[in-house]
Every structure is written in structure tokens, then in C-alpha cells.
């Protein structure tokens, strides 16, 4: 699994965001380097929007069978993303539950629009074999911590 550390998020203010190098170092502390590999490939590709990143990855790695992994918070706000329909039509995706977001995400516009493409969680191991749009909501342990809360705690705010 690649953990993509983005240079920035067009939907979030850059103010208060740690520098990319610091966020990469933080991500590397939790990744094992074998099963989870931290990358700043978006910086290398020069992409800002997920649709462009997905397109560039598919072009650069035409034989790879990618599955995009995102949190329920992102599923909830997905309709605000630039070319979000193109993203979900390009590669299958899995949604990891996030406390306080799950219900809203599953009741939201993207989940409704993609309801016919939702697969049972037991189909997740074969998700890369499905033609997009295809997605699953994964049952997984949830942690209350957020990146914003962690940054605030580290800065003493």
C-alpha cells in the first residue's frame, strides 16, 4: 500500500499545515516500508487534484491494478472534489470508517450516486479485479485521533 502524502489539499487552508517534509517524516514513522510505503509522488508528478494524480498513476503504471483507499470523511466530501465522477470511474476504491463521519458519508450524495456500484465488504480482497465504479465500505477498528488534533497537541495549542 502506498501512503500518498500530498503537498497540499485544495479544499483545506495551507495555514497551520505542517511542511511536506515534516508530514513525510511523520508518515514514515508509522509505515513499515514493506507493506506500507510512504511516497510524495504527487509532488514528483506535479499534480494537485486527485483526478490528475489518478490519471498520471494509471499512465505511468499501466499494468498496475490500483485500489484507492480513503476515509469516510473523504467519501462525505467527495462531490466537492474536482472531477470526482472521473476519479470513481477510473479505479475501484475502498472506504475506511472514521468516527463521526460514517453515517453522513453513507447517507451522502456520492454514496447515493454510487449505490449500485457498492460491493459487500467480503468482496474487498478482489476489489482490484472489479471494473470501476466499484467500491466497498470496510469494517475496521476506528481511532478518534485526527491529523488536526495531533498537530494541535504537538504545537501545544
Any domain includes 96: yes
Say yes or no: 42 and 82 in one domain. Answer: no
Any domain includes 89: yes
- Output the CA torsion sign for 17, 22, 23, 24: positive
Say yes or no: 104 and 150 in one domain. Answer: yes
Any domain includes 153: yes
pLDDT score, position 18: 85
Say yes or no: 42 and 78 in one domain. Answer: no
Cis peptide before 106 (omega within 30 of 0): no
pLDDT score, position 148: 61
Say yes or no: 141 and 71 in one domain. Answer: yes
> How far is CA 88 from each of CA 114, 117, 148, rounded to the nearest angstrom?
9, 10, 27
Q: What is the pLDDT of residues 41-55, one digit of tens each?
A: 999 999 989 999 999
- How many structural domains are present in the chain? 2
SS3 for the chain is CEEECCCCCCCCCCCCCCCHHHHHHHHHHHCCCCCCEEECHHHHHCCCCHHHHHHHHHHHCCCCCCCEEEEHHHHHHHHHCCCHHHHHHHCCEEEECCCCCHHHHHHCHHHHHCHHHEECHHHHHHHHHCCCCCEEECCCCCCCCCHHHHHHHHHCC
pLDDT score, position 13: 73
Any domain includes 56: no
pLDDT score, position 110: 98
pLDDT score, position 3: 92
Say yes or no: 151 and 101 in one domain. Answer: yes
* Longest distance between any two alpha carbons in the chain, whole Å: 46
Q: What is the pLDDT of residues 65-91, one digit of tens each?
A: 999 999 999 999 999 999 999 999 999
Any domain includes 54: no
Whichever domain contains 122, its CATH number is 3.40.50.620
> Whole-model pTM?
0.85
Q: What is the pLDDT of residues 102-152, one digit of tens each?
A: 999 999 999 999 999 999 999 999 999 999 999 999 998 877 666 666 556
Spatial CA neighbour of 91 closest among 126, 43, 135, 60: 135
Any domain includes 60: no
Q: What's the mean per-residue pLDDT of the chain?
A: 90
* Structural domain range at position 33: 1-48
Q: Indicate whether 58 pLDDT > 70.
A: yes
Any domain includes 7: yes
Q: Which residues of 33-44 are buried (b: 16+ CB within 10 A; e: fewer)?
A: eeeeebebebee
Say yes or no: 103 and 42 in one domain. Answer: no
Amino acid at each position: 500500500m502506498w501512503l500518498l502524502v500530498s503537498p497540499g489539499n485544495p479544499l483545506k487552508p495551507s495555514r497551520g499545515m505542517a511542511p511536506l517534509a515534516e508530514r513525510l517524516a511523520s508518515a514514515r514513522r508509522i509505515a513499515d516500508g514493506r507493506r506500507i510505503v510512504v511516497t510524495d509522488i504527487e509532488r514528483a508528478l506535479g499534480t494537485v487534484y486527485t483526478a490528475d494524480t489518478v490519471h498520471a498513476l494509471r499512465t505511468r503504471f499501466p499494468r498496475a491494478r490500483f485500489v484507492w483507499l480513503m476515509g469516510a470523511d473523504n467519501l462525505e466530501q467527495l462531490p466537492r472534489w474536482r472531477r470526482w465522477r472521473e476519479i470513481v470511474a477510473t479505479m475501484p476504491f475502498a472506504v475506511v470508517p472514521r468516527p463521526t463521519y460514517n453515517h453522513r458519508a453513507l447517507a451522502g450524495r456520492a454514496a447515493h450516486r454510487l449505490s449500485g456500484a457498492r460491493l459487500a465488504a467480503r468482496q474487498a480482497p478482489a476489489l482490484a479485479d472489479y471494473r470501476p465504479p466499484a467500491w466497498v465500505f470496510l469494517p475496521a477498528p476506528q481511532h478518534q485521533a485526527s491529523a488536526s488534533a495531533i498537530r494541535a497537541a504537538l504545537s501545544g495549542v
